[in-house]
């Protein structure tokens, strides 16, 4: 029987690369996005469909789930990939911006997961893959809100795995480091506070450069596919995550000093 995957945030970057890879590997793919648009090379294939889904709107989540099940009979893997990042000093974030950050990266992910849990429990199988970040286990300057959401995703996922294991439902975390996608353009929402301009002007070019020299989203897509086909209870799957090794080796003070030197010197 052909397996089915539903992927959120499939219009570009990691989501698009994952949709492409799963389709090429013969899976049924439900590529979801806020504003549906064709994906070159995929649209029109029998095992591929684009469905509207906005993780901040509950009615679109349930409709996408129902449409996926109607089209392919079942969903075997859910990939929670949709997300973006505020970028700037915490003082520059408005309450509305902070709410939107959490609504998308955390509560949206939770709401999508909640909608699929009855389906997975009833079929006594399923895999939930949450695309987190190395930023869920360490931090960089000017990403405080983004880090807060990703640390929450890590804790949510780690706890959720316990209660779902008796139902044969697995939870997986994908933890990309720097990846060359449009995250640094379309998915990065900069904010400004003049008190931090000097620091921001020093840090921004270095942060942007880390993305330009990084592997592409295909590397993350391959890791997502590996997690989807891994029948073990392994939880975390890092990608280009050398910073995690460094973080484990250094004390809090040493790592903080290193990040300040990297960003502000």
Kindly state the DSSP code that residue 170 receives in the 8-state scheme: E
Instruction: Identify whether the C-beta of residue 23 lies closer than 8 Å to the C-beta of residue 2.
Output: no
| Residues classed as catalytic | 132, 146, 150
Instruction: Identify whether the C-beta of residue 6 lies closer than 8 Å to the C-beta of residue 64.
Output: yes
Distance in angstroms (rounded) separating the CA atoms of residues 37 and 9: 12
Distance in angstroms (rounded) separating the CA atoms of residues 177 and 241: 5
Question: 245: Cβ–Cβ under 8 A, 6 or more apart, which residues?
Answer: none
**What's the N-to-C CA distance of the chain in angstroms?**
56
Distance in angstroms (rounded) separating the CA atoms of residues 182 and 217: 10
Question: 7: Cβ–Cβ under 8 A, 6 or more apart, which residues?
Answer: 15, 18, 19, 22, 29, 30, 31, 32, 79, 81
Distance in angstroms (rounded) separating the CA atoms of residues 216 and 22: 17
Kindly list the distances between the CA atom of residue 155 and the CA atoms of 58, 107, 130, 171, 206, in Å, as whole numbers in the listed order. Answer: 23, 13, 11, 12, 29
Distance in angstroms (rounded) separating the CA atoms of residues 46 and 8: 19
Kindly state the DSSP code that residue 132 receives in the 8-state scheme: -
């Amino acid at each position: 029987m052909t397996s089915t995957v539903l992927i959120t945030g499939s219009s570009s970057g990691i989501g698009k690369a994952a949709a492409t890879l799963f389709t090429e590997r013969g899976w049924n793919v439900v590529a979801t996005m806020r504003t549906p648009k064709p994906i070159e090379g995929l649209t029109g294939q029998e095992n591929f469909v684009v469905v509207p889904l906005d993780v901040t709107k509950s009615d679109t989540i349930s409709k996408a789930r129902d449409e996926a099940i109607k089209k392919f009979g079942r969903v075997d893997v859910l990939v929670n990939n949709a997300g973006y990042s505020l970028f700037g000093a915490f003082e520059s974030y408005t309450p509305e911006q902070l709410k939107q950050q959490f609504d998308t990266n955390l509560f949206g992910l939770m709401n999508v997961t909640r909608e699929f849990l009855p389906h997975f429990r009833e079929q006594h199988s399923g895999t939930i893959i949450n695309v987190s970040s190395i930023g869920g286990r360490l931090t960089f300057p000017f990403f405080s809100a983004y880090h807060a959401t990703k640390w929450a995703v890590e804790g949510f996922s780690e706890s959720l795995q316990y209660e779902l294991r008796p139902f044969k439902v697995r939870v997986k975390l994908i933890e990309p480091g720097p990846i060359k996608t449009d995250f640094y353009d379309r998915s990065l929402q900069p904010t400004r506070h003049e008190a931090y301009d000097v620091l921001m002007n020093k840090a921004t070019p270095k942060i942007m450069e880390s993305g330009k020299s990084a592997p592409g989203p295909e590397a993350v897509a391959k890791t997502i596919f590996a997690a989807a086909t891994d029948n073990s209870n392994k939880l975390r799957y890092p990608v280009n995550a050398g910073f995690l090794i460094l973080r484990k080796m250094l004390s809090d003070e040493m790592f903080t000093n290193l990040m300040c030197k990297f960003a502000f010197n």
